[in-house]
Structure 1
Amino acid sequence: MLQITINKAPELKAKPADETKLGFGNYYTDHMFIMDHSPEKGWHDARIVPFENFSISPAAIVFHYGMCIFEGLKAYRRPDGKVQLFRPDENARRMMRSAERMCMPQFPEEYFMEAVKTLVSLDSDWTPSAPGTTLYVRPTLICNHDDLSMHSLGRFMFFIILSPVGSYYVEGLKPVRIKIEETAARSVHGGTGFAKCGGNYAGSFHATVQAEKEGYSQVLWLDGATKQYIEEVGSNNIMFKIGGKIVTPALGDTVLPGITRKSCIEMFKKWGMEVEERQLSVAELLEQLEKGNVEEVFGVGTAAIVTPVGVLGYGGKNYEFNGGQIGETTQRLYDELVGLQFGQRADEFGWTVMVE
């Protein structure tokens, strides 16, 4: 069991006056969790302290070589007022896989769970109750060792911060416009594409900013080697309903193994729908679109949950799906998943974890 020292904030911050205007990552709760690692002590000094700035050496490895991984999960306000988490054990396991890839120290899944639950419990009154709002949980692991030689990775810090949030996309649950990126690459085989590390996201900003200037909300990345096969959107995994089947890019070392993705696939199978996890080329997608077989396109991820895609931009053209409307399967998936996460529907899968 993880021993956590709690140092409560002497004064609590004022909470957002209007929960319908939270945005994403604009507010932070009263406390944060921190745990340190050193070669001599291993993981030690787990503590919850008032939310405040860190004091870190300018020579810290995280600033120079990008040694940082993170996770993203949410706490949900149930109709009965209680707060619950959605599959936090999956986040714990994925973070340890990322840590292994980035040569960072791992810790037991139980540490992750206890830290998240204890912090969320302490700041549970920050969990909003307005429709579509949640308490976003951001666990992060960095190397704060101050050695520019790259030969020493001695000290690390794991911390968790919380933020009450609204919808990730300003459009809310409305079809978004996505641009297929034809030049830049998010990841390559043998790289860090499957790990949730900061550099993957930093490297995607250039293409994303350009796409936003052109009127798109996000970028859909292709494989780095051939630029033919669809992989994922910058903030979530992507799924297509083609000829009545759900088609989604197969996992590998270039695609992030999304927890929402995994959950959606399990839900589809329970509904009796056929799911194909395989390579899907842009050429095949456009061919199926011309034949009228592409019924729906949607993204799935923790931040936005389920995001209908109304338009894909590629080769200077815009391709519209489902008349720019939310598809029947997309809507059902959103309703079922959100209902489960918020405790409005029975959890037949055993995915939710109550915060006491």
Structure 2
Amino acid sequence: MSATSTAPADPTTTAPVTFPVTRSAAPVAAERRAEVLAAPGFGKHFTDHMALATWTRGTGWHDAGIVPYGPLQLDPAAAVLHYAQEVFEGLKAYRHADGSVWTFRPEANAARMDRSARRLALPEVGEQMFLEAITQLVRTDEAWVPAGGESSLYLRPFMVATEAFLGVRSAHEVKFLVIASPAGSYFTGGVKPVSIWLSQTYTRAAFGGTGSAKCGGNYAASLAAQDEAAEHGCDQVCFLDAGEHRYVEELGGMNLFFVHDDGSIVTPELTGTILEGITRSSILRLAQDLGHEVAERRVSIDEWRRGVASGRITEVFACGTAAAVTPVGRLLSADGELVHGTGEAGEVTSAIRARLTDLQYGRAEDTHGWLHRLV
């Protein structure tokens, strides 16, 4: 196979992109939809429509619309199938008590998607097109937004290289889509601490790689370690840095925070190998609102162990879109087990989780202007 040009993708079109609606001729029956919303789980059921747009080099974004949900037709030579040129995002739509529907900091998701796209040599979507796509999709499928508890409509924007070409270069044809899936409460029986396996065999990302991009390859690279965690009875896996295997980075899909006995909170700093979580950055601000001193710096696995043993580290929690804030109860590794706290969610973890979810569901005043109304 001969090498070909690796010129970057054309910049995003400056013209506003709209998503006219073509309604499904066979939507899910209301009775069946009600059954799904009563127990949606996560990522198992999908709404009647999806957002779809195509990008071609020299033309930009075109043929955008809200269309019936259905399979994609891909050529077997589509670049995404061979070189994994794709990125994605994840955010939620929340039903508030008055029936309105809102999402949380979607501008930040749009900006992160564009950063990921640049790293993967894909075209940028831009904030206008990103917001238009999720807004029109949620308005079209509003009946799928659940109410009650911590249920929500999970939104998955993603972009894949669809050009049929086996040369190694950035693709000349790309598709952007948004699909939606109703999601139930992550903790159906109340918030309970999770167990973490410390991977000393695998690393998630290295300097200069794609660790700070939200792309499927990063998650694929974490699956063997996640399977290893499951074999040891753990819910999640924690990765150390690739260079020295000393510093805590992140879990397979969540960022980590450490609460100290003086009330200060520390999270591993962004080194280019850690995904910059939207929930992570929100917690840094909300923790300050609650009076905590916060810091972003490198945290070694030895500091973690010593801190728990001495009582210096009183709580550990993880955060992400799916679970919001998740307490960490214990860390397991080949070197033994480290237990945090009493087996229940800690006071600081619970307070931060409540502040975040109250804001997302409209139960608290949005003093930071983070909520964006969809319906």
- What TM-score comes out, normalization by structure 1 length? 0.97
**Preserved contact between residue 231 and residue 249 of structure 1 (Cα < 8 Å):** yes
Give yes or no for the alignment of 1:334 onto 2:334: no
User: Alignment length, in residue pairs?
Assistant: 356
- Which SS does the other structure have where 1:159 is aligned? strand
Larger deviation: 337-346 or 144-153?
Answer: 144-153
Kindly state the Cα deviation for residue 294 of structure 1 after the two structures are TM-superposed: 1.3
Partner of 2:196: 178
Partner of 2:8: none
Partner of 1:271: 290
**Counterpart residue identity of residue 6, structure 1:** V
**Counterpart residue identity of residue 22, structure 2:** N
Kindly state the Cα deviation for residue 225 of structure 1 after the two structures are TM-superposed: 1.1
Partner of 1:280: 299
Long gaps (5+) in structure 2 = 1-15
Kindly state the Cα deviation for residue 214 of structure 1 after the two structures are TM-superposed: 1.4
Pairing of 1:70-219 with structure 2 (within 5 A): 70-151=88-169, 153-168=171-186, 173-219=191-237
**Preserved contact between residue 19 and residue 130 of structure 1 (Cα < 8 Å):** no
**Counterpart residue identity of residue 366, structure 2:** D
Of the three residues 277, 285, 288, the one matched with 1:258 is: 277
Partner of 2:370: 351
- Which SS does the other structure have where 1:98 is aligned? helix
Cα distance change on mapping 1:202 and 1:263 into 2, 3 Å: same
**Counterpart residue identity of residue 307, structure 2:** Q
Partner of 1:54: 72
Kindly state the Cα deviation for residue 172 of structure 1 after the two structures are TM-superposed: 5.5
Kindly state the Cα deviation for residue 166 of structure 1 after the two structures are TM-superposed: 1.6
- Which SS does the other structure have where 1:228 is aligned? coil
For residues 34-93 of structure 1, the C-alpha deviation after alignment (integer angstroms, 9 at most, x for no partner) is 000111321111111000001110110101111110000000010111100000000000
Give yes or no for the alignment of 1:40 onto 2:95: no
Q: Distance in 2 between matches of 1:268 and 1:332?
A: 9
Partner of 2:13: none
Kindly state the Cα deviation for residue 274 of structure 1 after the two structures are TM-superposed: 0.6
**Counterpart residue identity of residue 233, structure 1:** L
**Counterpart residue identity of residue 161, structure 1:** I
User: After TM superposition, where is structure 1 displaced by more than 2 Å over at least 4 residues in a row?
Assistant: 18-21, 167-172
Give yes or no for the alignment of 1:289 onto 2:317: no
- What TM-score comes out, normalization by structure 2 length? 0.92
**Preserved contact between residue 57 and residue 173 of structure 2 (Cα < 8 Å):** yes
Cα distance change on mapping 1:272 and 1:220 into 2, 3 Å: same
Long gaps (5+) in structure 1 = none
Give yes or no for the alignment of 1:23 onto 2:38: no
- Which SS does the other structure have where 2:102 is aligned? strand
Kindly state the Cα deviation for residue 168 of structure 1 after the two structures are TM-superposed: 4.2
Partner of 1:4: 19
Of the three residues 293, 299, 324, the one matched with 1:305 is: 324
Larger deviation: 337-346 or 91-100?
Answer: 337-346
**Counterpart residue identity of residue 324, structure 2:** I
Kindly state the Cα deviation for residue 130 of structure 1 after the two structures are TM-superposed: 2.8
- Which SS does the other structure have where 1:323 is aligned? coil
Q: Distance in 1 between matches of 2:252 and 2:59?
A: 37
Q: Identity over the aligned pairs, expressed in percent? A: 40
**Counterpart residue identity of residue 93, structure 1:** A
- Which SS does the other structure have where 2:275 is aligned? coil
